[in-house]
Amino acid sequence: MARKKITPPRTEQLALSELTIEQRQIEGLSLSTIVRRRFFQHKAAITSMIVLALIILLAFTSVGTIIGGTGRLAADTESGEIILDGLRISGWWPYDWYRNYPLSTPGGVPSWEHPFGQDTLGKDIFARVMRGIQQSLTVVALIGFLATAIGVLIGSIAGFIRGWLDNLLMRMTDVIIIVPGLILGAVLGRTIGGNAISLGILLGLVSWTGLARLVRGEFLALREREFVDAARVAGASNSRIIFRHILPNSIGIVVVNATLLMSAAILTETALSFLGFGITAPDISLGQIISQYNEAFKTRPWLFWYPGLFIVVIALCINFIGDGLRDAFDPRQRRMPKTTSLMRQFREMTNGRTK
């Protein structure tokens, strides 16, 4: 008696067909190509990246920037005017963030000449906000770079070597974790800080703890995999195994958490500058702008709208970019085929079974 062929249910067949479609889409592609394609399919991440690039371009080209020097106010020996110490690269905006100008409208209400308005001293709020974005982004970039580098280095060494060195590094990490980051940043900022570079370096040196623990956990899992044993048999050194074999397989968690760290960094810098422990005058940051004009919230709310809006937009953009990178690096995140493709696959299987 012939045995009847058992076919899987339609839902299982459909799932197998979807898996085959996904495998065919990435067949023969490198990991970088797959990640890039998945990232560019994330519309929110791409939109956020474009918006963030436009904000950076606007901030650094409008009021220019200063390279080197102390960044403090000084008198020009030739003209006698008050200028900032350092090499000034001018921008296309005609007003500076540290000068007082005559009020173009009563009360400094926004106008065509000063679209973000003026304060009671006549300072142009647009120039101050653009300079504040420059300083805040400088702090964020320094924190992201230093915290990522230190966290990856300490986490990879602790997770791969283990033993007494792992215990030493993790206990040092625990000591830094138990101290509130805002208090530690306030103490260091008031002691050594005052400008964006010093504040970014100080905060970057104490913001790596969370990333280090995540990288350590990833290395503890990957160090037992077969490709690590194969590298040892081939005679690879520990440093080569860490940086050429294990770390590339952990790049997803590193990149995603680095973006989340940078998103939190701009809020930390804003909070410290608002409390007076971050960037100090004559330089400016977004948090300092809100702190200076907090008493005029009811009478001149436009002094808060623009710095607050840019803080929210920058933080959201970095978060959305992090979400896109997470989806791109996670192999379990697969884009579902379109509905028409699903229906076509379903009809083909149905017709095959009826035949």
CATH number for the domain spanning 268: value is 1.10.3720.10
159 C-beta neighbours (distance < 10 Å), count = 26
Spans in the chain with pLDDT lower than 70: 1-31, 68-83, 85-86, 181, 189-190, 192-194, 330-355
pLDDT at 186: 72
Residues 6 or more apart in contact with residue 326 via CB below 8 angstroms: 252, 256, 333
pLDDT at 129: 93
Residues 6 or more apart in contact with residue 273 via CB below 8 angstroms: 279, 285, 286, 287, 288, 291
- 3-class secondary-structure state, position 84: strand
Which is nearest to 331 in space by CA: 23, 52, 16, 28?
Answer: 23
Tell me the C-alpha distance between 154 and 170, whole Å.
Answer: 9
Helices 251-275 & 209-222 angle (0-180, nearest 10): 170
Q: Kindly state the tokens that stand for 352.
A: 């095959």
Angle CA(230)–CA(217)–CA(161) in degrees, nearest 5?
55
Structural domain contains residue 144: yes
Structural domain contains residue 264: yes
Structural domain contains residue 334: no
Structural domain contains residue 318: yes
> For residue range 28-46, what is the model confidence (pLDDT) as tens digits?
566 678 788 888 888 999 9
Q: Count of domains in the chain? A: 1
Structural domain contains residue 215: yes
> Taking a C-beta distance cutoff of 8 angstroms, is the pair 241, 160 a contact?
yes
Expressed as residue numbers, the domain containing 60 is 47-67+87-329
Structural domain contains residue 8: no
**CA dist 23 to 64, 84, 261, 278, Å?**
49, 59, 33, 51
Structural domain contains residue 320: yes
Structural domain contains residue 39: no
Which is nearest to 285 in space by CA: 308, 302, 263, 255?
Answer: 308
pLDDT at 212: 93
- 3-class secondary-structure state, position 83: strand
- Paired with 124 in beta bridges are 118
